[in-house]
Structure 1
Amino acid sequence: MTKQGPTARQRKLASELRRLREAAGLTPEQAAGLLGWSRPKLVKIETASQLPSVGDVDRILGAYGPAEPLRLALLKLARDVRRRGWWASYSDVLPGSYAELEHAASRIRTWQPQLVHGLLQTEDYARTLIRGHFPDLAAEEIDRRVQARMTRRAMLARENPPRLECVLAEEVLRRPVGGRDVMRAQLRALLFAIERPNVSLRVVPIEQGYYPSIGTGGLVLFEFDSLADLSVAYMETIAGGRYEENVTEVRACKVMFERVADAALDEKDSADFIRTIAEEM
């Protein structure tokens, strides 16, 4: 069995504990001495190489002295790290960190220059993509990946769902992935999705010409209400996805997303545009 890496919660906890140490003006050696631990133990916790117990986290927070609301939030995060989500059942086909971020986020903003975002894909559209990405997979493996993607999609209809703000390039809507019938159904599914109050969809039309970030890959911003959860950016490249948690870099990603969104049609005009393309398909 493939060893799973640290979850999004564990990475976030590690990042916050490291930030608090630095804010307290302590080196790893000084902090480890204050805690009565070895330096390697502290470093492993701060790099998400070792999962700390709730008692370990409480001890660290006692030494660093954060404000009470943050202390309570981090202790809750330490308890939640061990909680298994629905995605654990699909760990063989679905990156747990991405699914966990998606599940926990209060707002997801995404720029998609090539494909419909996974949370908005129909089963046939998703199956076409998965079969194309993994041409050597057995039919049952493809089915399992499709099932995982459809399970992800259900989060938009749950109680207290995240807000999804999606900006798409017009090219995404006109490319007949799976054939015209499949794509027509996908476009109708997008029109159905935007009837939800928590889903926003806007389109950057081709006639816009140049737009910010042209020539780069897609971007997903995971944003949270919790004090202990800072925003995370996920960038799609030809070599695979990359997570960015550095505050400065995430802020730059947010600025770029907003610049792309400024080039898009508004929600009503975007819906009319999608409807027209569906009729032409």
Structure 2
Amino acid sequence: MARAENKETAGPATRLVARVARDCRLRRQWTQDQLGAEIGFSGAAVSAMETCAQPASDEMLVALERVLGEGMGVFEQAREFVRLDKLPAQFKDYALLEQRVLALHLYATLVVHGLFQTEAYARALIGGGYPPLSEQRVEELVEVRMSRKALFDREPVALIELVLDESVLRRPIGSGEIMREQLQHLAECAKRRNVTLQVLPLDCGLAGECAGAHGELNLVETPEHDHLIYLEPQDESLLIKDPGKVSTYAQRYAKIRAQALGPRESLGLIERLAGDQQ
């Protein structure tokens, strides 16, 4: 939704796109309505983009590149950075880091980790959150969340390991159909050569300990082989670099992984649960 306050908080990529698009339009002596007709958007949508009241959507940037780009690729290259502008402020630094990682070791306790979410699951989750968001904002956040999946096929290959608490698989989000699709997607991800997916069973605490009781975590290895911990409690953001603390979290993660079902057994459980969804 176009909002006046967006003009004050718009990120640098959003502002750059707005300036370049406006300058290109004026050089052609087009009105906003005329540019809108060329790219398949309303004149009001063009105005909202040029004033930063509404950041350009991915579809608008593709159309702007086709109509105004002149082969330079400015709007095409801006797509990644405009998506980053749309992220919640507390997540932006980690999002940039995530794109560059050598390896990720993840533990999720409440819902499927964002990297592994389907579009429908993400939309149901984001749209059902609190405080309520506008439909436009929900779609923006779904779009940028889906764009993170490029990490799975990036070169050089990133190694991604995820341990899911079993309760995540059994907690329905959206509908039975959405949940079945999500479980099937997890099964497909588990078969990737650069992905290891394990499930921490509900009864792991019967042995007298549950290493995952402290909550979810993200253990990151950077291209420089630094190891960092990223935590996101209650929509806050915490990036931990202290080697001693990182070591403690890494040891805890290793214990979580040791208490989890093996990859084959985990895949079997996910497939069985997908079959149970109606």
TM-score range, shorter chain: 0.5 to 0.7
**Which of 140, 164, 170 lines up with 1:168 in the alignment?**
164
State the alpha-carbon separation in 1 of the partners of residues 114 and 200 from structure 2: 19
Secondary structure at the counterpart of residue 163 of structure 2 = strand
**What is the aligned partner in structure 1 of residue 132 from structure 2?**
136
Alpha carbons 1:87, 1:100 under 8 Å: kept: no
* 1:153-203 CA distance string (max 9 Å, x none): 122122223111000110000111111111110000001112211111000
**Could you tell which deviates more after superposition, 153-162 or 200-209?**
153-162
**Structure 2: any 5+ residue segments left out of the alignment?**
1-7, 12-76
Residue 202 (structure 2) pairs with residue 206 (structure 1)? yes
Which of residues 232, 247, 261 in structure 2 aligns to 1:236? 232
| Cα offset, 1:251, TM superposition | 0.9
| Gaps in structure 1 of 5+ consecutive residues | 5-82
Checking the alignment, whether the CA contact within 8 Å between 1:184 and 1:278 is kept in structure 2 is: yes
Measured in 1, the distance between the counterparts of 2:86 and 2:237 equals 17
Match of 2:215 among 207, 214, 217: 217
What displacement does 1:204 show? 0.7
The number of equivalent residue pairs is 201
**How far did 1:87 drift?**
4.3
Question: Which residue, 234, 246, 249 being the options, matches 1:250?
Answer: 246
Preserved CA contact (<8 Å) 1:217 1:237: no
Query: 1:197 and 1:87 mapped to 2: Cα distance?
Result: 29
Deviations 1:214-256 (A, max 9, x none): 1x32100110242xx5211012323623111111111111001
> How far apart, in 2, do the equivalents of 1:268 and 1:125 lie?
24
Verify the 8 A CA contact 2:229 2:246 in the aligned structure 1: yes
- Percent identical pairs in the alignment equals 31
3-state SS, counterpart of residue 166 of structure 1: strand
CA displacement at 1:84 relative to structure 2: 8.6
How many Å separate the matches in 1 of 2:226 and 2:84?
Answer: 26
CA contact under 8 A between 1:88 and 1:96: conserved in structure 2? Answer: no
Tell me which residue corresponds to 2:267: 271
1:124-203 to 2 correspondences below 5 Å = 124-203=120-199
More helix by share: 2
Closer/same/farther in 2, CA of residues 236 and 89 from structure 1, 3 Å limit: closer
Q: 1:171 to 1:92 in 2, by over 3 A?
A: same
Mapped contact 1:164–1:200 kept (Cα < 8 A): yes
Give me the whole-angstrom Cα distance separating, in 2, the residues matched to 1:259 and 1:156.
25
1:75-130 per-residue CA deviation (whole Å, 9 max, x = no partner) reads xxxxxxxx999245332324321111111110000111111111110001101111
Instruction: Give the C-alpha shift of residue 134 in structure 1.
Output: 4.6
Question: Hey, what's the Cα distance between the residues in 1 that align with 2:111 and 2:167?
Answer: 9
Segments of 4+ in structure 1 off by > 6 A?
Answer: none
Which residue in 2 is equivalent to 1:93?
Answer: 87
Q: How high is the TM-score relative to the length of structure 2?
A: 0.67
Deviation string 1:33-59 (CA, Å, 9 cap, x unpaired) is xxxxxxxxxxxxxxxxxxxxxxxxxxx
CA RMSD of aligned residues (A): 2.2
SS in 1 for 2:142: helix
Tell me the distance in 2 between the aligned counterparts of 1:129 and 1:243: 24
Cα distance between partner residues in 1 of 2:192 and 2:173:
24
Which secondary structure state, in structure 1, belongs to the residue aligned with residue 192 of structure 2?
coil
